[in-house]
A = this chain, B = another copy of it.
Amino acid sequence: MNFELNKSIEILERTPEVIEVLLSGLSQEWVRSNEGDHTWSPYDIVGHLIFGEKTDWILRIKTILSESDNKLFEPFDRFAQLKENQEKSIDELIIEFKEVRIENLNRLKSLNIKQEDLNRTGIHPEFGEVNLKQLISTWAVHDLGHIAQISRVMAKQYKSEVGPWINYLGILNK
């Protein structure tokens, strides 16, 4: 597939609801268990998605499209959610994620991005020049990666319960 803005938005606008259906009202054991030391629970992952909305994607898009000469992106703290108040419920996090995502997609649409804008560039703090098309593609793929991760983390909670089927269930061996 070649990049298209509208097809990227199709993914981005679905993610909060996918996560709501997956996690809302689910037992705490599914929501708060992880894959072991220094790994994330579904709860942590939703927190990470919220931080991305607040501090990463749309700000970087604006940096690329700005008239300023400073095209350097701010580094993104991928662990910020672990320092946050852990008392919020998963449903509170999901509502927050839905709100910030809708707001950011409205901002994205209001930027009125044209085909020629997709090749405009910014500077990533680690790997240098990237363009707008790559950034928006990554935003969508990042969503899908974390949906897959949430599914995997939940699946692993039953790793010792599936018995001999473990060899048929690739997700338990990732």
- C-alpha spacing A69/B140, complex, angstroms: 52
Indicate which residue in B7, B29, B149 contacts A1 across the interface (CB closer than 8 Å). B29
> Of residues 1 to 60 in A, which have CB atoms within 8 Å of B's CB atoms?
1-3, 7, 10-11, 14, 17-18, 21-22, 26-27, 29-30, 33
> Of residues 118 to 164 in A, which have CB atoms within 8 Å of B's CB atoms?
124, 127-128, 130-131, 133-134, 137-138, 140-142, 144-145, 147-149, 151-152, 154-155, 157-158, 161-164
Chain A interface helix/strand/loop/mixed? helix
- Residue pair B27, A161 in contact (C-beta under 8 Å): no
Chain B residues within an 8 Å CB radius of A133: 161
- C-alpha spacing A78/B30, complex, angstroms: 28
- Residue pair A174, B174 in contact (C-beta under 8 Å): yes
Stretch at the interface among A83-91, A100-108, A165-173: A165-173
- Residue pair A148, B128 in contact (C-beta under 8 Å): no
Given contacts A138-B165, A165-B130, contact A18 B7 (CB under 8 A): no
Looking at the assembled complex, report how far the CB atom of A12 sits from the nearest CB atom of chain B, in whole angstroms. 12
8 A–B contacts, CB within 8 A, in A order: A2-B161, A10-B27, A124-B164, A130-B163, A138-B168, A145-B169, A151-B151, A174-B174
Additional A-B contacts beyond A22-B147, A130-B163 (10; CB < 8 A): A3-B158, A18-B21, A124-B164, A134-B164, A144-B154, A144-B171, A145-B170, A147-B147, A147-B151, A148-B151
